């Protein structure tokens, strides 16, 4: 049995999730510095990503509190505009083959679709809600037009999950499902890197992911076994990987966030990366926003986790900012009151007390 939570309880929930976020992000920053100090690594990239997530989260909380519909809508449009006007999403030499920047494009469009769907659930007018869902569908079409198959699949999945979220009574079930999905994708990535996947499936995955990417995964797993505790140091994969050093144009990344953490920061780094993702899901579970908003944002972040597990999406500051921004928007408490359906809001508050 559930009961509605009052303003004081909602504030306590936010305080708990915010405190957890501070601890997790602080631990990620501290560990990157420790690992870098031991192995003469370069933690600047990790620290920049952590700062980007924190800044995006703060901006999302502020924007979501002031403009619960307009802020996520603006974020969605900004993501699409950025993808169209700055296709490579990063300065410097562009690595076109064999891996490229497709992961970042897919990630930004996925987060944009999630923001549009969150705005739709926050809107009260049916016409506005429909228009925002059409925008989300248009973002998926944009991904297909740009040739981002993974982006199209991820955006479509987010849109479908968002529509299904309106019929889910308990958000805890949905959050648990998202956590299982992210774990399964990460486990599959690890299995491929460890050569424990059946031959037929491995051949199909090689065709989808490229042999070069899988060789980078093998190198990352090998380095993680050499230094399981501390890793080889942040930013050092590119100089220690035989596959990366043998490639004419290489970005020095293993193109898998979990495997990069394992190689460069050891087991603790992997656990901290998982903790950062779990913190976002925990914040969405505890938020007083309607359940559809929380689950929509969770679906987008889970899709991002899947993209990052098989690509270099988290190497782009734009993606890190976008992830924090979406999480902040979905956990912000509108100052003027939530504009979504009252019954959804009451149900969301009640779900916080469900096991």
What is residue 354's predicted lDDT score, i.e. its pLDDT? 40
pLDDT band per the 50, 70, 90 thresholds, residue 88: low
Model confidence, pTM: 0.89
Please calculate the CA angle 289-115-306 and round it to the nearest 5 degrees. 100
Evaluate if residue 246 carries a pLDDT over 80: no
The two tokens of residue 183 are: 């774990």
Q: Could you give the CA distance from residue 303 to residue 155 in angstroms, rounded to a whole number?
A: 8
Please compute the mean of the pLDDT values over residues 93-110 and round it to a whole number.
Answer: 65
What is residue 84's predicted lDDT score, i.e. its pLDDT? 87
Evaluate if residue 350 carries a pLDDT over 70: no
- Find all residues with CB under 8 Å of 73, minimum gap 6, and list them: 115, 116, 119, 132, 135
pLDDT band per the 50, 70, 90 thresholds, residue 141: very high
Q: Are 166 and 292 in contact (CB under 8 A)?
A: yes
Q: Is the peptide bond before 98 cis (omega within 30 degrees of 0)?
A: yes
pLDDT band per the 50, 70, 90 thresholds, residue 189: very high
What is residue 12's predicted lDDT score, i.e. its pLDDT? 60
Say whether 270 sits in a helix, a strand or coil: helix
Evaluate if residue 161 carries a pLDDT over 50: yes
Least confident of 84-98, 152-166, 232-246, 323-337: 84-98
What is residue 352's predicted lDDT score, i.e. its pLDDT? 42
DSSP string, 135-158: HHHHHHHHHHHTT-HHHHHHHHHH
Q: What is the pLDDT of the chain when averaged over all its residues?
A: 86
Cα-trace Rg, the chain: 20
Say whether 247 sits in a helix, a strand or coil: coil
Least confident of 125-139, 165-179, 280-294, 330-344: 330-344
pLDDT tens-digit readout, 253-292: 899 999 999 999 999 999 999 999 999 999 999 998 999 9
Query: Roughly how many angstroms between the first and final C-alpha of the chain, as a whole number?
Result: 10
How far CA 267 is from CA of 79, 254, 258, in Å, comes to: 33, 16, 10
Taking the domains of the chain in order of start, what are their residue ranges?
A: 14-351
Residue 333 Rama label (left phi>0; alpha psi -120 to 50; beta):
beta
Evaluate if residue 347 carries a pLDDT over 60: no
């Amino acid at each position: 049995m559930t009961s509605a939570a009052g303003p004081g309880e909602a504030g306590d929930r936010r305080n708990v999730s915010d405190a957890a976020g501070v601890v997790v992000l602080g631990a990620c920053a501290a560990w990157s510095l420790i690992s870098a100090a031991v192995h003469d690594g370069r933690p600047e990239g990790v620290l920049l990503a952590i700062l980007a997530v924190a800044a995006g989260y703060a901006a999302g909380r502020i924007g979501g509190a002031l403009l619960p519909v307009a802020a996520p809508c603006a974020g969605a449009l900004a993501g699409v505009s950025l993808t169209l006007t700055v296709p490579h999403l990063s300065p410097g030499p562009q690595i076109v083959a064999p891996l490229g920047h497709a992961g970042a494009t897919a990630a930004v469009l996925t987060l944009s679709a999630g923001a549009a769907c969150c705005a739709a659930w926050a809107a009260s007018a049916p016409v506005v809600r429909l228009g925002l869902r059409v925008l989300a569908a248009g973002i998926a079409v944009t991904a297909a037009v740009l040739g981002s198959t993974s982006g199209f699949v991820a955006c479509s999945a987010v849109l479908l999950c968002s529509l299904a979220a309106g019929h889910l009574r308990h958000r805890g079930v949905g959050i648990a499902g998202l956590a299982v999905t992210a774990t399964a994708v990460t486990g599959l990535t690890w299995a491929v890197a460890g050569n424990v996947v059946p031959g037929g499936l491995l051949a199909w995955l090689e065709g989808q992911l490229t042999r070069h990417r899988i060789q980078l995964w093998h190198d990352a797993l090998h380095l993680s076994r050499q230094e399981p505790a501390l890793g080889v140091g942040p930013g050092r994969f590119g100089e220690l990987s035989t596959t990366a050093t043998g490639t004419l144009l290489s970005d020095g990344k293993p193109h898998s966030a979990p495997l990069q953490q394992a190689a460069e920061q050891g087991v603790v780094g992997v656990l901290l990366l998982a903790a950062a993702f779990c913190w976002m899901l925990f914040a969405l579970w505890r938020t007083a926003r309607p359940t559809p908003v929380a689950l929509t944002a969770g679906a987008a972040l889970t899709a991002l986790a899947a993209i990052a597990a098989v690509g270099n999406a988290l190497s782009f500051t734009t993606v890190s900012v976008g992830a924090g921004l979406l999480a902040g928007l979905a956990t912000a408490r509108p100052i003027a009151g939530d504009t979504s359906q009252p019954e959804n809001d009451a149900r969301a508050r009640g779900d916080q007390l469900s096991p």
